[in-house]
Structure 1
Amino acid sequence: MPAMRKHPTALPFLFFSEMWERFGFYLILGIFQLYLTDTAKGGWGMDRRTAADIFGTFIAFVYLTPFLGGLIADRKLGYTRSVIIGGILMGIGYLGLAVHNLTVFYISLGLICIGNGFFKPNISTLLGNVYNDEPYRKNKDTGYNIFYMGINVGALICNFFAAFLRNTIGWGAAFTAAGVGMFLGVIIFIIGMKHYKHADVRKPQEAGDMPLNRIFSVVFMPALAVGIAAWFIPGNIFGSDSTDAFIFACIPILIFFGSLFVKASANDKKPVAALLAIFAVSIVFWAVFKQNGTALTTWAHYYTDREVPVAIEKPAEQLYLVEKVHNQPDSVVAYDHEFKIIKDEAGKPVKTWGLDPYFKNVAPEKMPPAGESINLANTELFQSVNPFFVITLTPLVVLFFGWLRKRNQEPTTPGKIAWGLAISALSTLMMVGAVYYCSNGQIKASPWWLIGCYGLVTLGELCLSPMGLSLVSKLSPPRITSLMMGGWFLATSIGNKLSGILATMWDNYEDKANYFLINFVLLGAAAVVIFLMLRWLNGIFRAYVK
Structure 2
Amino acid sequence: MNKSSSHPAALPFLFLSEMWERFGFYLILGIFQLYLTDTAKGGWGMDRATAADIFGTFIAFVYLTPFLGGLIADRKLGYSKSIIIGGILMGIGYIGLSVHNLTVFYLSLGLICVGNGFFKPNISTLLGNVYNDDKYRSRKDTGYNIFYMGINIGAFICNFFAAFLRNTVGWGAAFIAAGVGMFLGVLIFVIGMKHYRHADVRKPVQEGDMPLSRIFSVVFLPAIVVGLGAWFIPGNIFGSDSTDAFIFACIPILFFFVSLLVKADAKDRKPIAALLSIFAVSIVFWAVFKQNGTALTTWAQYYTDREIPAAIEAPAQKLYLVETVTNKPDSVTAYDSEFRVIRDAAGKPVKVWDKVPYFKNVAPEKMPEEGKSISLFNTELFQSINPFFVITLTPLIVWFFGMLRKRKREPSTPSKIAWGLLVSAASTLLMVGAVYACSNGAIKASPWWLIGCYGVITVGELFLSPMGLSLVSKLSPARLTSLMMGGWFLATSIGNKLSGILATLWDTYDNKANYYLVNCLLLGGAAAVIFLMLKWLNGIFREYVK
Q: What TM-score comes out, normalization by structure 1 length?
A: 0.99
Contact 1:326 1:356 in 2 (8 A): yes
Contact 2:85 2:119 in 1 (8 A): yes
Structure 1 312/419 Cα, relative in aligned 2: closer, same or farther at 3 Å?
A: closer
Alignment correspondent of 1:229: 229
In structure 1, distance between residues paired with 2:416 and 2:319: 42
Counterpart secondary structure, 2:432: helix
Alignment correspondent of 2:121: 121
Superposition pairs for residues 519-530 of structure 1, below 5 Å?
519-530=519-530
In structure 2, distance between residues paired with 1:418 and 1:213: 38
Counterpart secondary structure, 2:374: strand
Alignment correspondent of 1:169: 169
Contact 2:431 2:450 in 1 (8 A): yes
Structure 1 4/225 Cα, relative in aligned 2: closer, same or farther at 3 Å?
A: farther
Q: Which runs of 5+ in 2 are unaligned?
A: none
Letter of the structure 2 residue corresponding to residue 50 of structure 1 = T
Alignment correspondent of 2:259: 259
**Superposition deviation, residue 386 in structure 1:** 0.2
In structure 2, distance between residues paired with 1:278 and 1:325: 47
Alignment correspondent of 2:70: 70
Structure 1 segments of 4+ aligned residues over 4 angstroms from their partners? 311-319
Structure 1 367/68 Cα, relative in aligned 2: closer, same or farther at 3 Å?
A: same
Counterpart secondary structure, 1:152: helix
Alignment correspondent of 2:249: 249
Q: Which runs of 5+ in 1 are unaligned?
A: none
Letter of the structure 1 residue corresponding to residue 147 of structure 2 = F
Alignment correspondent of 1:309: 309
**Do residues 134 (structure 1) and 134 (structure 2) align?**
yes
Alignment correspondent of 1:461: 461
**Superposition deviation, residue 317 in structure 1:** 5.8
**Superposition deviation, residue 134 in structure 1:** 2.4
Letter of the structure 1 residue corresponding to residue 502 of structure 2 = L
In structure 1, distance between residues paired with 2:301 and 2:313: 27
Alignment correspondent of 1:502: 502
Alignment correspondent of 1:148: 148
Counterpart secondary structure, 2:338: coil
Alignment correspondent of 1:358: 358
Alignment correspondent of 1:422: 422
Contact 1:336 1:342 in 2 (8 A): yes
In structure 2, distance between residues paired with 1:494 and 1:72: 21
Letter of the structure 2 residue corresponding to residue 363 of structure 1 = A
In structure 2, distance between residues paired with 1:492 and 1:383: 19
Contact 1:316 1:324 in 2 (8 A): no
In structure 2, distance between residues paired with 1:462 and 1:4: 28
In structure 1, distance between residues paired with 2:411 and 2:302: 41
Contact 2:23 2:155 in 1 (8 A): yes
In structure 2, distance between residues paired with 1:527 and 1:185: 36
Letter of the structure 1 residue corresponding to residue 460 of structure 2 = G
**Superposition deviation, residue 310 in structure 1:** 3.8
**Superposition deviation, residue 96 in structure 1:** 0.1
Contact 2:313 2:375 in 1 (8 A): no
Alignment correspondent of 2:485: 485
Counterpart secondary structure, 1:523: helix
Contact 2:90 2:112 in 1 (8 A): yes
Structure 1 357/259 Cα, relative in aligned 2: closer, same or farther at 3 Å?
A: same
Counterpart secondary structure, 1:324: strand
Alignment correspondent of 2:10: 10
In structure 2, distance between residues paired with 1:162 and 1:315: 17
Which whole-Å deviations, capped at 9, do the CAs of 1:231-255 have from their partners, x for residues lacking one?
Answer: 0010000000000000000000000
**Superposition deviation, residue 344 in structure 1:** 1.3
Letter of the structure 2 residue corresponding to residue 504 of structure 1 = T
Contact 1:275 1:472 in 2 (8 A): yes
Counterpart secondary structure, 2:411: coil
Superposition pairs for residues 248-327 of structure 1, below 5 Å?
248-311=248-311, 318-327=318-327
In structure 2, distance between residues paired with 1:219 and 1:327: 57
In structure 2, distance between residues paired with 1:313 and 1:22: 29
**Superposition deviation, residue 319 in structure 1:** 4.6
Counterpart secondary structure, 1:45: coil
Letter of the structure 1 residue corresponding to residue 399 of structure 2 = L
**Superposition deviation, residue 354 in structure 1:** 1.4
**Superposition deviation, residue 348 in structure 1:** 1.1
**Superposition deviation, residue 275 in structure 1:** 0.1
In structure 1, distance between residues paired with 2:504 and 2:462: 27
Counterpart secondary structure, 2:510: coil
Letter of the structure 2 residue corresponding to residue 156 of structure 1 = F
In structure 2, distance between residues paired with 1:33 and 1:461: 23
Q: Which moved more, 1:529-538 or 1:399-408?
A: 399-408
Give the aligned length.
546
Contact 1:36 1:45 in 2 (8 A): yes
In structure 2, distance between residues paired with 1:486 and 1:338: 39
Letter of the structure 2 residue corresponding to residue 13 of structure 1 = F
In structure 2, distance between residues paired with 1:345 and 1:32: 26
Alignment correspondent of 1:28: 28
**Superposition deviation, residue 150 in structure 1:** 1.8
Counterpart secondary structure, 2:323: strand
Aligned CA RMSD, in angstroms, stands at 1.3
Superposition pairs for residues 426-437 of structure 1, below 5 Å?
426-437=426-437
Counterpart secondary structure, 1:5: coil
Contact 1:23 1:181 in 2 (8 A): yes
Contact 2:301 2:379 in 1 (8 A): yes
Contact 1:166 1:173 in 2 (8 A): yes
In structure 1, distance between residues paired with 2:392 and 2:318: 30
In structure 1, distance between residues paired with 2:275 and 2:182: 31
Counterpart secondary structure, 1:132: coil
**Superposition deviation, residue 128 in structure 1:** 0.2
Q: What TM-score comes out, normalization by structure 2 length?
A: 0.99
Contact 1:316 1:375 in 2 (8 A): no
Letter of the structure 2 residue corresponding to residue 291 of structure 1 = Q
Counterpart secondary structure, 1:331: strand
Counterpart secondary structure, 2:5: helix
